Structure 1
Amino acid sequence: MTDAPGKVLQTLVALHVDSLESTAARLDLDSVMQVANSIAAARHVDIYGVGGSGVIAREFQGRLYRIGVNAHAWSDVHEGLTSAVMQNSSSVAVGISSTGRTEETVQMVSQAGASGAFTVAITHDADSWLAGLADVSLATAEPSHYLRPDDLSVKHSQLLVLDLLYLLVAQQMFGEASTRLAASAMAVSAHRRSPRAPKPASIAAEETR
């Protein structure tokens, strides 16, 4: 690959924008609302993902937990199956896998569904094993041929779907969500440094010479 850095940057931006736009075009908003409603009303939410999807699962879990949703993320299949078997009809299980073929994620979502949970797949393949066993499947963009298999634009399309779900859940829990977000911000405020003082104009001017 001999493209100049500027060309590589332009290509990446185009790929990531295309991934987000493709995901937005493929999403069924009625299904998205069904999932958001289920999460907002759930007693317990399990989020399953392995590898890169595991990172995304933990990000989603952290956001939901901060607004008062009893959410947990699992990447280890033994721990995930242990949690899945304790789910019931008041639970939601979300499986994240771009291909929809990750064996551990399929197993965990399958067990959660067998235990009575409302199951959700987030995958680009509507015909995959994960999508086939879930009650609702939300579509993300397919990986680009440019950077297979670890195309970060795929992760961005997953984050778009999860961010949309997070905001729709937060809308339904607005009072509680606002209170909890303020409390969590206050809890960590002592660990954030104040903004750095701007440099005097004379020093800044000297550094630019």
Structure 2
Amino acid sequence: MDQIVDRIRSLEASLPEAQRALAVFILDDPAAASARTILELSEAVGVSTGSITRLCRTLGLAGYSQLRLALAAEKGAREARDAQGTWRDDIGSGIDEHDPIERVAAAVARSVAGVVARTAEDLDPAVLEVAAGRIATARRIELFGVGGSATMATEFQQRLYRIGLPVWSWSDTHVALTGAAVLGRGDVALVLSHSGGTREAREVLAEAASRGATTIAVTNDPESPVAAQAELTLATCVRASGLRAEAVLARHAQMTVLDVLYIAVAQRTYARTTEAMAATQEAVRPYRARPQEEVPGG
């Protein structure tokens, strides 16, 4: 009874009129057809129950009950395949739904550690030097990303802002293009695009470049359109593994690049950075948890 729908489809054109009408009805929605009794199917298609029985025999089945079972079984198998495909697309093939949490934790740790190490090892020191120097002296810094890259851009913006740099982060394309349009020489536009094919990121870089700003791309594909549009490219190193790269690993690779870049910028602005760090720590100190002995009633 395997692939009953394929068998019906292959025979459809050669079937007598009544059986062909049944075949068309079943192929349109096999699950709905399998849920009907023989009388319900007969009324829905406008054929006799005898025509249904004859179609079953043409398919090599003893009767309608076998056809219903075959359609239901194929529906279940298809749903299972779809579920597995969805799981692999989002989670990956290295972890299944029955794995204990210890195995899940170990798999995530291995994958993250691997992508962080590869990305750090493959970073071009010369490009990092130039990028850090341009950011450290920029009059204005514009960051842009969409989706998961937007989250990383916001994180980077908060870190640079904390050490006194004039930096903005956008995920809205119109706002990002507006920001890029007011850049000039000595300014920086940095975009994050894991695939390197994001049209919006490419357009933001193009606008910034047309104004004379330094353009930097953080991408997993140094040969991508986004990388080609940038003056400087900082490449992540994410390869497919047991975990789905884009869903789990891209943000860790991007954060590795941004962490290294942040520290390199802080080194080049040491005096200003340490002063800003002290000021910001003092500003938020009253809102941090106090030692237990200072807490009223503690």
- What TM-score does the superposition give when structure 2 sets the normalisation length? 0.64
Structure 1 counterpart SS, 2:292: coil
**CA deviation map 1:126-160 (0-9, x unaligned):** 11111011001111022534333643322111111
Aligned ranges for residues 125-204 of structure 1 at < 5 Å?
A: 125-148=221-244, 150-196=246-292
Q: Residue 21 of structure 1: CA displacement? A: 1.1
Q: Residue 24 of structure 1: CA displacement? A: 1.4
Structure 1 residue 25 corresponds to structure 2 residue 86: no
Rounded to whole Å, the distance in 1 between the matches of 2:255 and 2:109 is: 16
Rounded to whole Å, the distance in 2 between the matches of 1:196 and 1:150 is: 42
**2:167 corresponding residue in structure 1:** 71
Structure 2 counterpart SS, 1:81: helix
Q: Residue 190 of structure 1: CA displacement? A: 1.2
**CA deviation map 1:21-70 (0-9, x unaligned):** 11012210110011000101111111111111111001111111111111
Rounded to whole Å, the distance in 1 between the matches of 2:245 and 2:220 is: 13
**CA deviation map 1:96-146 (0-9, x unaligned):** 011111222221111111111110000010111110110011110225343
Rounded to whole Å, the distance in 2 between the matches of 1:130 and 1:150 is: 17
Structure 1 counterpart SS, 2:234: strand
**RCO greater where, 1 or 2, for CA within 8 Å and sep 6 or more?**
1
**1:120 corresponding residue in structure 2:** 216
**2:206 corresponding residue in structure 1:** 110
Structure 1 residue 81 corresponds to structure 2 residue 203: no
Q: Residue 161 of structure 1: CA displacement? A: 0.8
Letter in 1 for 2:228: G
Rounded to whole Å, the distance in 2 between the matches of 1:195 and 1:103 is: 50
Rounded to whole Å, the distance in 1 between the matches of 2:205 and 2:291 is: 44
Letter in 2 for 1:137: T
Is the 8 Å Cα contact of residues 144 and 151 (structure 1) preserved in structure 2?
Answer: no
**CA deviation map 1:155-181 (0-9, x unaligned):** 111111111111111111111101111
Structure 2 counterpart SS, 1:151: helix
Rounded to whole Å, the distance in 1 between the matches of 2:198 and 2:281 is: 36
Rounded to whole Å, the distance in 1 between the matches of 2:162 and 2:105 is: 34
Which structure: greater helix fraction? 2
Letter in 1 for 2:230: A
Is the 8 Å Cα contact of residues 54 and 75 (structure 1) preserved in structure 2?
Answer: yes
Letter in 1 for 2:132: A
Is the 8 Å Cα contact of residues 48 and 109 (structure 1) preserved in structure 2?
Answer: no
- What TM-score does the superposition give when structure 1 sets the normalisation length? 0.90
Aligned-CA RMSD value: 1.3
5+ residue gaps, structure 2: 1-95, 294-298
Rounded to whole Å, the distance in 2 between the matches of 1:79 and 1:146 is: 37
**1:202 corresponding residue in structure 2:** none
Structure 1 residue 47 corresponds to structure 2 residue 137: no
Letter in 2 for 1:84: A
Rounded to whole Å, the distance in 2 between the matches of 1:12 and 1:41 is: 38
Rounded to whole Å, the distance in 2 between the matches of 1:151 and 1:72 is: 25
Rounded to whole Å, the distance in 1 between the matches of 2:201 and 2:239 is: 19
Rounded to whole Å, the distance in 2 between the matches of 1:110 and 1:96 is: 14
5+ residue gaps, structure 1: 198-209
Which is higher, the Rg of structure 1 or of structure 2? 2
Rounded to whole Å, the distance in 2 between the matches of 1:162 and 1:9 is: 25
